[in-house]
Amino acid sequence: MKENIEQLREAFLTEIQTVKNLQELDALRVKYLGRKGQLQAYFKQLGQVDPADRPQIGRLLNELKQLFERTIAEYKSRFREEDTGEWIDLTLPGRKPPVARKHPLTQVLDEIKSIFQSLGFTIADGPEVETDYYNFEALNIPKLHPARDMQDTLYVTEDILLRTHTSPVQIRVMESQPPPVRIIAPGRVYRRDTPDASHSPFFHQVEGLCVDQGISFADLKAVISEFARRMFGEDIQVRFRPSFFPFTEPSLEYDFNCVFCRGKGCRVCKQTGWMEISGAGMVDPNVFKAVGYDPEIYTGYAFGMGVDRIAMLKFAIDDIRLFFENDMRFLRQF
Ligand code: PHE
């Protein structure tokens, strides 16, 4: 009898290892613990056992029953956890949390800022909703001046509008401090333009302003050329063209080599080989008068800069609208 009990124990321990799920486990339970099971049969035979051995055999059978019950219960809870998915496989690789990144325009803006900061400029700021006075009047663009036509915009009231350029920050900075001034002012601007590959009704500019005694046109050209080299590399070419702005005299517009064709001429640069960046010039004496600077003592230069255009050049993007569509397939590439 003792041997039979031992065999049953071994058979159970071997068989339970092959059990794969709750159903198979239940079948095994019936087989070993059920009323018609092997263990029960031995309990029934206990009466025929020699009375001297009976207590010992009885104890062995009880121990075996407990072993069956305990082991089956352990397997049961293990299968249950697997069923509810709570079971943890520590060998699986972890889940990667999605990591945010900067918008390509922000990346370019950060780079522009750090270049100018290294050239001694500090960063100024101004409101996007401006008054007619700061956006036009103080910049020597009186009411009914034809220069307003090119910068038609969205008016909040007759006197308040969405700024059409970052130049009003020039006025705000000069009003708030005496010379010398050396600032850049990055920000968003608005114009009533129909969107296409190179136009968006809102876009970004960086204004630059440097005022001191003895500042000349040469300083302006040097700073813009140095910026171009640091931003795009030594072999970038810069072109200055005469132009007109009411708040600078003389005025220029400047272009960088088209990076798509390296100056040969292509669809993006409309076969010119150049990409227009923005305007610049020497601060008009009338602007100095508007802020109370003495134009007989101080001179200065101002420049604009199209951030979106620079980002298009930097990343070889041929449509400005891509920046503002929030399409993750586009944004993820930067
Ligand atoms: N504000 C001008 C524009 O948006 C650019 C400019 C800035 C020109 C500073 C001259 C000096 O077109």
Domain ranges across the chain:
2-84, 104-331
Residues 27-45: tens digit of each pLDDT: 999 999 988 888 888 888 8
Task: Measure 253 CA to ligand 1 centroid, in angstroms.
Answer: 9
Task: Measure 303 CA to ligand 1 centroid, in angstroms.
Answer: 6
Instruction: For ligand 1, say whether the CB of 280 is within 6 Å of any of its atoms.
Output: yes
Task: Measure 266 CA to ligand 1 centroid, in angstroms.
Answer: 26
Report pLDDT for 191: 93
Instruction: For ligand 1, say whether the CB of 301 is within 6 Å of any of its atoms.
Output: no
Report pLDDT for 150: 75
Fold of the 104-331 domain: BirA Bifunctional Protein; domain 2 (3.30.930)
Task: Measure 94 CA to ligand 1 centroid, in angstroms.
Answer: 52
Task: Measure 168 CA to ligand 1 centroid, in angstroms.
Answer: 10
Instruction: For ligand 1, say whether the CB of 281 is within 6 Å of any of its atoms.
Output: yes
The pTM for the full model equals: 0.71
Instruction: For ligand 1, say whether the CB of 203 is within 6 Å of any of its atoms.
Output: no
Tell me the pLDDT of the chain (334 aa) as tens digits: 888 889 989 999 999 899 888 888 889 999 999 888 888 888 888 888 888 888 898 898 899 899 889 999 888 888 877 766 666 778 888 888 888 899 999 999 999 999 999 999 999 999 999 999 999 999 999 988 887 877 778 899 999 999 999 999 999 999 999 999 999 999 999 998 888 888 899 999 999 999 999 999 999 999 999 999 999 999 889 999 999 999 999 999 999 988 778 788 887 788 899 988 999 999 999 999 999 999 999 999 999 999 999 999 899 898 999 999 999 999 999 9
Q: Best substitution site from 165, 191, 202, 209 to test ligand 1's pocket, by max atoms within 8 Å of Cβ?
A: 165
User: What's the CA gap between 274 and 189, in Å, rounded?
Assistant: 23
Report the amino acid identity of residue 41: A
Residues 160-180: tens digit of each pLDDT: 999 999 999 999 999 999 999
User: What's the CA gap between 218 and 210, in Å, rounded?
Assistant: 13
Q: Which residue puts its alpha carbon closest to atom 12 of ligand 1?
A: 279
* CA-based nearest residue to 167, from 202, 137, 197: 137
